[in-house]
Structure 1
Amino acid sequence: MSDLIVYNTLSDLYRALDLPIEQEIDFTIHYLPNIHKTMPYKSPTFRANYYSFVFVKDGSGTYTTDEQTFPTAPGTIYFTNPGHIKAFEMKTLNDAYIITLTEAFLKEQVHPDIFEEFPFLLAETVPPNTLPPAEFAEFENLYLQIYKEYHSHSPYKYRIIGNLFVVLLLKIKEKFWKEFDPIAEGDRNSQIVKHFKRSLEKHYRKLAAGDTKYAFQVQDYAYEQNLHPNYFSHVIKSKTGKPVNTWIAEKTIAEAQSLLKNTKLTAKEIGYQLGFSEPTHFNSYFKKHTGMTPNTYRKENI
């Protein structure tokens, strides 16, 4: 899998497939027949570093994730989270939508404790579900309203979309994963990944709340599971396509951006809260990963 192509956004994927689309980085929704005009279509196998939710009202094909292949039919809903290996094949496609979004959008616009409220978002693989028309229509009403708001010029559109998405996730939780336990199943390596994702989220909630000042490193997450750091790192990289340090960096930046946008804490205070011993270290780290300083980011996003 070393030559597997990784796409950080949906537009990166479709540009590589010579089906260019425009999208905003944090959130987008597309009507798939506008993109895939010729059927059948089979994608290459790739790794996606974004959340995607697909709603197939009228279409058929297959969806493959982490070496498991599932059929898609009219009324099918499925989603994947960042780091998954996936591919799709469409035999027919008459009416379908795809929503992609980042963790930052989920936490800032949807729910601050998104993974506490919706733990299935941390799952390795969640099979698609096919609903009868009346039940699928409940979801259709929601994603069509999201689509309408996405193309509006309202100054509140992302707040509106965030609230609509909460309802959509609650409906998914109600219909599909009422009793879902993301640790319950899977092989040992999948359990290691699931445990790490939950631990990462839990630790950063503590950092953001000021309940701890120590930022976990790779070895801390490994020792939590009584694993050697080298073995732990190998499992995470092989299963998700991203090194542990990349997961930690992305989480750190997502939390920092959320605190900069949603609190009055200074950049210095945010740096200390996220475990940086010196403000200059936080400033350099943030700029390295975003291309701007924390204060510049705050000015451009308030």
Structure 2
Amino acid sequence: METIIKVNSISQLHEMLNMDTPKHPLITIIDVADVEVTQEMVDIKVVTDLYCIALKDVHCGMEYGRNSYDFENGALIFTAPLQAFTATKPVEKNENKGWMLFFHPSFLKKSHLSQKMSQYYFFEYHANEALHLSTSERNTLNDIISNIQKEYTENIDCHSQKVIISNLELMLNYSLRFYERQFKTRNIVHQGIVVKFEKIVNSWIGENLLAEKGIPTVQDIAEKINLSPNYLSDVLRKKTGISAKDYINNLMIRKAKAMLLSSTNSVSEIAYLLGFNYPHYFTRFFKSKTGTTPTEYRRVN
């Protein structure tokens, strides 16, 4: 039976890692060199209620969700609360380098940053979609980490939370900018993703799998390409101007139009063949995308 450990707080995190009591109850920065993973901790799934931003500079096998990943130099990974991670091998102290910033959602309570967290889409990416940093980018984030650590370890007062949140927001905004830059420099890789996406969706629709499996979701396609749905949709939007969901819908409409004009099947029969459980769902979907009902489209054309 799979062993799962639930970590609800910063103090519980420190206890699990056999580290000293945290300096702050809602935020902590852990030096990766201080982390030891014993054989007993390998393959144990850990689920936390915390946000995590981690930078590691050497290969260290970790598994996030169902995806194994070895950090490359300067790889930055983001995880949101309730995401799972697992150590895949023992680690001795001083074996790895880097840092891990953990903070509880309550730390952002009543702050403007709390309302902006959904803008930082990379918290929903898989580990294999990590942000790869240049030396200058890594130095920029290291300076911000130093500022945050200094503030909560040495200068805790009524202004500390505002200062830390300001630095945290700065880090996230820099990361957003770095991701945008990475998207621009990975055109060939992303073009390959678009080609794979198109091939899978066209095959799904063209081989009449709709009636058997239903309309493919972004999650369905993302799993076949080994990407997170968010990352896949972001790539499609950057390359084609529309989201993955809209892309699938456009192909569905194209298929529906072809069936309406080239077959004598009733609208209800076409709806079932396209994976709709109820004909009126198909009619509503078709009209929302074309401005006309399937029956009207067939009659006019």
TM-score normalised to structure 1 length: 0.52
Structure 1 or 2, whichever has the larger Rg, is 2
Q: Specify the alignment match of 2:67 in structure 1.
A: 68
Q: Decide which moves more: 111-120 or 158-167.
A: 111-120
- Aligned-pair CA distance for 1:165: 0.6
Separation in structure 1 between the aligned mates of residue 26 and residue 176 of structure 2, nearest angstrom: 23
Separation in structure 2 between the aligned mates of residue 104 and residue 12 of structure 1, nearest angstrom: 15
Q: Is the 8 A contact 1:29 1:150 kept in 2?
A: no
Q: Specify the alignment match of 2:45 in structure 1.
A: 45
Q: Is the 8 A contact 2:59 2:71 kept in 1?
A: yes
2:164 to 151, 161, 165: 161
- Aligned-pair CA distance for 1:80: 0.8
- The count of corresponding residues between Structure 1 and Structure 2 is 189
Structure 1: unaligned runs, 5 residues or longer: 195-302
- Aligned-pair CA distance for 1:185: 4.8
Q: Specify the alignment match of 1:128 in structure 2.
A: 130
**What are the residue-to-residue correspondences of 1:10-21 with 2, within 5 Å?**
10-17=10-17, 19-21=18-20
**What are the residue-to-residue correspondences of 1:231-246 with 2, within 5 Å?**
none
Structure 2: unaligned runs, 5 residues or longer: 184-216, 224-228, 231-301
Sequence identity, in percent?
Answer: 16
**What are the residue-to-residue correspondences of 1:99-138 with 2, within 5 Å?**
99-109=101-111, 111-121=113-123, 123=124, 125-126=126-127, 127-138=129-140
Q: Is the 8 A contact 2:14 2:21 kept in 1?
A: no
Separation in structure 2 between the aligned mates of residue 109 and residue 79 of structure 1, nearest angstrom: 20
**Structure 1 runs, 4 residues or longer, greater than 6 Å off:** none
- Aligned-pair CA distance for 1:21: 3.2
Q: Specify the alignment match of 2:26 in structure 1.
A: 26
Deviations 1:138-166 (A, max 9, x none): 11111111111121224222111100111
Q: Is the 8 A contact 1:110 1:163 kept in 2?
A: no
More helix by share: 2
More strand by share: 1
Q: CA RMSD in A?
A: 3.8
Shift in alpha-carbon separation, 1:107–1:124, aligned structure 2, 3 A: farther
Q: Specify the alignment match of 1:80 in structure 2.
A: 79
Separation in structure 2 between the aligned mates of residue 129 and residue 3 of structure 1, nearest angstrom: 30
Do residues 173 (structure 1) and 176 (structure 2) align? yes
SS in 1 for 2:25: coil
SS in 1 for 2:219: coil
- Aligned-pair CA distance for 1:94: 4.6
Shift in alpha-carbon separation, 1:115–1:134, aligned structure 2, 3 A: closer
Q: Is the 8 A contact 2:51 2:80 kept in 1?
A: yes
Separation in structure 1 between the aligned mates of residue 55 and residue 110 of structure 2, nearest angstrom: 24
Separation in structure 1 between the aligned mates of residue 126 and residue 218 of structure 2, nearest angstrom: 10
Q: Is the 8 A contact 1:50 1:100 kept in 2?
A: yes
Q: Specify the alignment match of 1:268 in structure 2.
A: none
Deviations 1:88-145 (A, max 9, x none): 3557645311111122223434614123432433x26353233232221111111111
Q: Specify the alignment match of 1:97 in structure 2.
A: 99
SS in 1 for 2:52: strand
